[in-house]
Amino acid sequence: MRISTQGAFLNGLQAMQRLQEALDYTQRQISSGRRILNPSDDPIGSARAIELREAISRLDQFDRNATIVNNRLSQEESALSSINNVIQRVRELALQANNATQSNESRGLIAIEMREHLENLVQLANQQDGNGSYLFSGNLEGTQPVARMGSSFTYNGDQGQRFIQIGEGRQVSDSDPGSSVFFQIRNGNGTFTALADPGNTGTGLIGAGSLVDPTVYDQDQYTVQFIDPNNYEVLDSLGGTVATASYQSGDTIAFRGIEFSLSGEPAAGDQFIVAPSRFQDMFSTIDKLATAVERTVNDSVSRVEMNNAINASLLDIDQALGNILDVRTQVGARLAATENQIDSNGSFKLTMQSTLADIQDLDYAEAISRLSLESTTLEAAQQSFIRTQQLSLFNYF
Amino acid sequence: MPDLLNTSLTGMLAFQRALDLTGHNIANANTPGYSRQVAEFTARIGGGSGSTYVGGGTQISTIKRMYDALLVEQLRISATGQARFSALNNLAGRVDSLLADADTGLNTGLQNFFNTMQDVANDPAEIPTRQALLGEADGIANRFRSLDQRLDTLENEVNERLTLAVDDINRIASQIADVNDKIAVAGVGARPNDLLDRRDALVLELSGLVSVSTTIQDDGAMNVFVGSGQSLVLGTNVQRFGVRASEFDPTRVSVVYEGASGSTPLDTALSGGTLGGLLEFRSRVLDPSRQSLGQTAVAFVNQFNTQHNAGMDLRGNLGGDFFSIDPPRVLYSSNNTGGGTATAAIDDLGAFTGADYVLEFDGASYSLTRADNGQSIPLTGSGTAADPFLADGMSIEVGGAPAAGDRVMIRTGHNAAGTIENLISDPRSIALAAPTRAQSSLANIGDATVSQLTVVDAEDPALLTPAVIEFTSPTTYSINGAGNFTYTDGDPIVVNGTSVTINGVPAVGDQFTIEPNYGASGDNSNALLLNDVQSTGVLDGGAISIGESYGQLVASVGGTAHQIQSGLAAQNVVYTNAEEAVLSKSAVNLDEEAANLIRYQQAYQAAAQVVNVTKTLFDSLIAATSR
């Protein structure tokens, strides 16, 4: 093929330009550490890289969220732990007060301590976090959840529970509303309450009660009425007779799927009321307990009255403790779930980061050997260009 | 003897001309488009002398231009292709980098915005965090606007470049006509080689601007045609190209052919070259990118606003619109003669495309077509306010008195991203809480719990009216004391636009209240739902989320840019090969010319020696006779 001078020159020039372009590209790859410099170099890879960076950024956010949840749940757990201790102490005091060796005076002192614990409990329930938000007021963060009017306690928060996203499609709540921690607690044994009528003149002492057959129990209110000290009848809320039986101290009174034991000597006309459990807040429970402990005992009838009241409150206290335990179990489960999620987020992030590195990061060994090859080629092209350009017949004129 | 003198003289003259020609070739060794010229010698026919026949020396019969029309044609075609890809590559690469760059693209902004939304969800009562969200909201609105603005700048650049290219085409066309004239004056037989080279160079330059075809007339003049056969140069006549504001958009330049019968738009007929590349970039990369960006913007704003409307702010007000965005833009054709009007709105994001549409009135009814591919879109409805036309996720209302043939363009996405504004400046006005809350009465006896409050109709006028669901039996309930509805465990109960679910066994008299969520500064329910806007499928019938929609744009532009890059690399090779072939045939080789110099110099010297011989012969004759 005929070579023209211009063609030879252009060829050499273009070859060098192409090599310089390649060299520059490799150099930019090496200096940035990126395999993909422009999205068009690898459109699929760069689209994937965008997705991965987004996902990694989301995971970082989830980690921050999880840390927040963790802190809040730990704070709640510590508050619940204090609350549990207070109630335990009150329970111990109640057992102490129930002991026959206590005098009216010593019980009075116990009641004073109980009321102090009650104050403490209200304060714990109205605890605020570092930002001044109430821990147990649901979503009404700025509202003090528990208000006291004498011996009545009201909940001013709401029943909302806030959820925080800690993973893709994974949300956990970072709090429990005061309503479910302090207020929605069933009294009695959780199913029913059995209480002595305040007007009783005998010494009938109510013992432990239980639900025997849930299919028969119909949540009606029943009255166990003593016809005489040895016989009683059970009436439903409409006055209909459910059962009649004879009585001996320590007998189990059973009807409509429930039973409870009764000991002592009830007088004729004494009544024991069985009603379905209702919600009773733990503050009222302690307040009632303290009121029972404060009773003046001067004969066997008033002692039984006090014992019945303390026993009933003890059941309520146990319900409160059970409820706190439930909430703490849930908080613990959430904490564990959060920890797990942080771990799985971490390993997921690691996988994605290594995928991202595969897509966008430069293989330095390959790039540097490419660079040296390209620079060698360019050098050779330059030298050969100079050589061939020097060749001319005119040199010999 | 005089014959010998004449003969040697012809040689000397011819070689002198050949040496001149070699000098001309050497001088033009680096002239682009120059075809080397070669002298063709032929022997002169001499006179007869008896029975022998002696020739009369030499002559240069022609000066041949080393030229191959086919190779030049190849070069023109590849120059057209190369210029097209070069223009495309330059512009598409810029769109590509713009969209995918972490600093200018949308991804980082969207991600930051939604991450801050999660921070806000973690602490909805915190004013500083809310303030940070507003900052990010400004940021995201700004990103959308600046992306659109950068694309708009590119559109203006295309306009300017088109105008310049058209000017160049007109200039080159005049020059070709000029050269045509000179060639015709010189005459075909004269072989005005350098003029022909000049014209070929002009046509090659023109090929870099637009795809052309040529024919040669009998008088040597060249006719040049472009597009779908529009003549640009006919002999010495030039038909001019021009630029006009396009039919619908005065800011958009359209290339027209200023023929005898008025100007004809050529945007779709022109291909190849810089001009073709610019037009192709506009229709293939720029317009779809702007439409897609607009589609994302509209979907983002609509989705976010809808969810924000369904929330309650720190002051207890229902959330207003968070962002604003312009409705589809209606552009009336400059050719319209009637007084028709049209307005359009987004009706259904699932069917919304962001494309441009043309609505045409034929005198009796309206028809809608997509502007980019001419696809006909069926219209439902009658176009009135009460019953608007519905098509591709838009609702269109028409009015006034249009004339037959009147057209309007509806741009649903084109400029939309540039019109996003953040409407909220007060951090307390961000609606992060649910507007209502469900509470179970603490006096309830049954086990039933209420959960899963969702707002199903934020526009229900009674949304904030408290309602009490009271159980009249374990299986029936009343709402606000009225009605007797059957209760099924776990079934949603909808009251005043709020839906709640009650689970468990209620007792008679148990109450559940739905009430306005006033004061719930810690509630983040709506923040969580706002956060979902990023990943919830909404476009394309609910298949594509906002994040994905933008990702698709980046991938599609990246893919196109990649394709163009490969195309350009291929065209470069084709062009280089074609250029090499032409250079090989036509360009000067200095060694060859040096050899020619020696050759012609020696021949000239030999011819001069012949004169000397003639002189010697004559001298001998004189000497012989003078004695």
**What's the CA gap between A94 and A107, in Å, rounded?**
9
Rounded distance between C-alpha atoms, residue A155 and residue B439, angstroms? 12
Asked if B111 lies within 8 A of A142 by C-beta distance, the reply is no
Cα separation of B519 and A143, whole Å?
8
Q: Is B241 helix (H, G, I), strand (E, B) or coil?
A: strand
H-helix or E-strand spanning residue B440 = strand B436-440
The answer to whether A3 and B591 have CB atoms below 8 angstroms apart is no
pLDDT class of B49 with cuts at 50, 70, 90: low
CA neighbours closer than 13 Å in the CB half-sphere of residue B354? 24
Residue B149 confidence (pLDDT) above 90? yes
Task: Tally the residues of chain A.
Answer: 397
**Which backbone phi and psi does A172 adopt, to 5 degrees?**
-130, 155
CB contact under 8 A, A278 and B93: no
Options 3.40.640.10, 1.20.1330.10, 1.10.3720.10, 3.10.20.740; CATH of A75-190+278-361: 1.20.1330.10
Q: For residue B573, what is the nearest residue in chain A, using CA coordinates?
A: A14
pLDDT per residue as tens digits for the range B569-608: 999 999 999 999 999 999 999 999 999 999 999 999 999 9
Q: How far is CA B360 from CA A92, B385, B403, in A?
A: 88, 18, 10
Q: Name the phi and psi angles at B313, rounded to 5.
A: -90, 180
CA distance A180 to B597: 110
Using CA atoms, how far apart are residues B455 and B462, in angstroms rounded to an integer?
12
pLDDT tens-digit map of B514-528: 999 998 888 999 999
Q: Tens of pLDDT along A215-272?
A: 888 888 999 999 999 999 999 989 899 989 999 998 999 999 999 999 999 999 999 9
Candidates B28, B91, B107, B111: best to mutate against A (most CBs of A within 10 A) is B111
Beta bridge partners of B469: B479, B512
Is B558 in contact with A143 (Cβ distance < 8 A)? no
Q: Cβ–Cβ of A394/B92 closer than 8 Å?
A: no
Q: Which residues of B touch A160 (CB under 8 A)?
A: 437, 517, 520, 522-523, 525
Say whether residue B595 is in contact with chain A using an 8 A CB cutoff.
yes
- Residue A5 has its nearest CB partner, among B433, B565, B589, at B589
Q: How far apart are CA B267 and CA B250, in angstroms?
A: 15
Q: How far is B108 from chain A (nearest CA, A)?
A: 8
Lowest mean pLDDT among B178-192, B353-367, B485-499, B524-538: B178-192
The single-letter code of the amino acid at A103 is S
The mean per-residue pLDDT over the stretch B243-271 comes to 84
Q: Tell me what the mean pLDDT of segment B263-276 comes to.
A: 85
Question: Which of A3, A57, A276 is the closest to B445 by Cβ?
Answer: A276
Work out the mean pLDDT of chain B and round it to a whole number: 90
Q: Classify residue A78 by burial, with Cβ atoms within 10 Å: 0-12, 13-18, 19+.
A: exposed
Nearest residue to A163 via CA among A133, A139, A136: A139
Q: Which residue has the tokens 């146990």?
A: A318
pLDDT of residue B184: 87
Element (H, E) at B71: helix B69-100
pLDDT, tens digit, 9 for 90 and up, residues A328-345 = 999 999 999 999 999 999
CB A61 within 8 A of CB A164: no
Report domain extents, chain A.
75-190+278-361, 192-276
**Per-residue pLDDT tens for B279-337?**
999 999 999 999 999 999 999 999 999 999 999 999 999 999 999 999 999 999 988 99
Q: Where are the strands (E) in B443-561, listed by range? A: 449-455, 467-473, 476-479, 482-486, 492-495, 498-503, 511-516
pLDDT computed for residue B435 by the predictor: 92
Q: Could you tell me if B433 lies within 8 Å of chain A, comparing CB atoms?
A: yes
- Residue B1: per-residue pLDDT: 46
Give the model confidence (pLDDT) of A77-98 as tens digits.
999 999 999 999 999 999 999 9
Q: What is the pLDDT of residue B516?
A: 92
- Please write the tens of the pLDDT for every residue from A362-390: 999 999 999 999 999 999 999 999 998 88
Which of A139, A173, A323 has the most B C-beta neighbours within 10 Å, making it the best mutation to test the interface with B? A139
Burial B332-341 (b: 16+ CB within 10 A, else e): bbeebeeebe
Q: Is the pLDDT of residue B345 over 70?
A: yes
- How far, in Å, CA of A309 to CA of A97, rounded? 11
Mean pLDDT taken over chain A? 92
Longest pairwise C-alpha distance within chain A: 152
Tell me the percentage of chain A whose pLDDT exceeds 90.
72
Query: Residue B102: its chain A contacts at CB < 8 A?
Result: 53
| d(C-alpha B517, C-alpha A74), whole Å | 28
Q: Which residue, A186, A122, A125, A183, is CA-closest to A316?
A: A186
Cβ-based burial of A197 (10 A; exposed 0-12, middle 13-18, buried ≥19): middle
Tens digits of residue pLDDT in A23-64? 999 999 999 999 988 878 888 888 888 889 888 999 999 999
- Which two three-digit tokens encode residue B5? 């003198």
How far is A156 from chain B, CA to nearest CA, in Å? 11
Instruction: Please give the distance of CA A286 from its chain centroid, rounded to a whole number.
Output: 26
Res B188 pLDDT > 70: no
Amino acid at A144: Q
Q: How confident is the model at residue B262 (pLDDT cuts 50, 70, 90)?
A: confident
Between chains, do A138 and B520 touch, taking CB under 8 Å as contact? yes
Token output for A97: 């007060």
Check CB contact under 8 Å for A46 and B554: yes
B186 touches chain A (CB under 8 A): no
* Alpha-carbon distance B286 to nearest alpha carbon in chain A (angstroms): 16
Using the Cβ of B342 and the Cβ atoms of chain A, whether some distance falls under 8 Å is answered with: no
Percent of chain A exceeding pLDDT 70 equals 100
Distances from the Cα of B72 to the Cα of A387, B28, B173, B203, B575, angstroms: 31, 19, 18, 10, 11
The DSSP code for B487 is P
All residues at 6 or more sequence positions from A117 whose CB lies less than 8 Å from its CB, including other chains? A86, A89, A90, A93, A286
Residue B192 has pLDDT above 90, yes or no: no
CB A235 within 8 A of CB A223: yes
Taking one residue from A and the other from B, the number of pairs with CB-CB distance under 8 angstroms is: 180
Is residue A36 a contact partner of residue A387, using CB atoms and an 8 Å limit? Answer: no
**Gap between the Cα atoms of A96 and B557, Å rounded:** 81
**pLDDT exceeds cutoff 60 at A148:** yes
Query: Residue B52: enclosing H or E segment and its boundaries?
Result: strand B52-53
User: Identity (one letter) of the amino acid at A237?
Assistant: S
Tokens of A355: 């995928």
Chain A residues touching B580 at Cβ < 8 A: 7, 10-11
Tokens for A295, please give them. Answer: 């009773």
With b for 16 or more beta-carbon neighbours within 10 A and e for fewer, the A349-362 pattern comes to beebeeebeebbeb
Structural domain boundaries in chain B: 2-65+588-626, 71-285+543-580, 436-516
Distance, in Å, from the CA atom of A26 to the CA atom of B466, rounded to the nearest integer, reads 69
Give the count of beta carbons closer than 10 Å to the beta carbon of residue A150.
Answer: 6
Residue of A nearest to B111 (CA): A54
What is the dihedral sign for C-alpha B314, B315, B319, B321? negative
Is B580 in the A-facing interface, judged by CB distances under 8 Å? Answer: yes
Tokens encoding B386: 């009460």
Do B558 and A40 make contact, defined as CB atoms within 8 angstroms? yes
